[in-house]
Amino acid sequence: MNRGILLDICVFVLSIFLMPLLTDNFIELTRAPQEDVLAKLAVALFYTGLLILSPLGAILKKYQFWERIEEQGKEKQVAKNIRLFIFSPWFCFIWLLVIGAFAAVSWSEILSPDVFLGSSTIIILAIFFGWMIYCFVGAVVISNFYDVGNGTAFWQIHVKGLDYDLSGFSIYEILYSVERPFFDRPRKFLETPLAAALGDFFIFLNMIGFQIFWGYLFTDLYGEGVKTGEDVFNSSVIYLLMFCLFYFPPRNFYLAEDIHRPIVWLTIMLANLPSFLYFFFRVRIL
């Protein structure tokens, strides 16, 4: 019940002791020369990991999460909580697009024109369409985690007046819709506490990755931060935008249950205090 608070505390502690070091190392990788293929590959794999960990955590955690919610009679509270935009598939799609853009550019830098049919255009088109398709599928899978089972379609495709409901698109539903002995073991595994524990691990790991990426944006792309009073408004808008895009995605898996608790918002503010001080004042606590 308090995994979200634990996640905030872990982010706060890591932001003080470990995150600056990890962020500085990541920035060095992004600044590596074009000839350093291993550095470029590490950056591309990092962005790819950010894209994969959230859907994977949602798949592994969903069964145990909703089983506990039903046992505790919290379905109505969770259904009320997830009405906010940050739980919508469109929000998932937006942040996946942002991270996916960095991943697409990173992979494009690695794959030279000589690697694939001697045409850089083919590579770029393949990466672009693959990125868009994955972002759509990933958003559907993540948003399905918040499906309370009331039949509401999060995603629909309208073709000639017909509605195609995609709200049930997840690995869990696919496995249970196929009656084959081969899928018995994966189905049973998703119902175990170990699957939920692995889901929590991937979500925590995803949050660490997002914090590194957030620090990279602060340090390497934003410049020197706030210098004069004229920068306050613009900086506040940028900070809030980054906060929504890069803190909520992994945190939402727990906010769906406890977003209405005041202590949760206090721990969220605590977790983001180091990033706030660094973004506006370039001050690190340690």
CB-based contact 123:111 (threshold 8 Å):
yes
- Reduce the DSSP state of residue 284 to 3 states and report it: coil
| CB burial of residue 176 (10 Å; 0-12, 13-18, 19+) | middle
d(CA 158, CA 168): 16
Query: In this predicted structure, what is the pLDDT of residue 203?
Result: 95
Residues 6+ apart with CB under 8 A from 23: 211, 212, 215, 216, 219
Report CA Rg, the chain: 20
**8 A C-beta contact, residue 253 and residue 6:** no
pLDDT of residue 135: 92
Distance CA 131, CA 207 (A): 21
Q: Give pLDDT tens digits along the chain (286 positions).
A: 789 999 999 999 999 889 889 998 999 999 888 888 899 999 999 999 999 999 999 999 998 898 889 898 988 889 888 888 899 889 999 999 999 999 988 888 887 645 444 456 777 777 788 888 999 999 988 988 987 654 333 444 444 444 445 544 555 555 555 555 555 677 788 888 999 999 999 999 999 999 999 888 887 656 555 566 666 777 788 889 889 999 999 999 999 999 999 999 999 999 999 988 888 777 776 5
| Burial of residue 149, with CB atoms counted within 10 A of its CB: 0-12 exposed, 13-18 middle, 19 or more buried | exposed
CB 131 within 8 A of CB 101: yes
Nearest to 199 by CA among 147, 122, 142: 142
Give alpha helix (H) positions in 162-247.
171-177, 184-190, 193-216, 231-246
How many CB atoms sit inside 10 A of residue 17's CB?
A: 11
- ∠ CA 158-163-169, rounded to 5°: 100
**Cα 104 off chain centre by:** 16
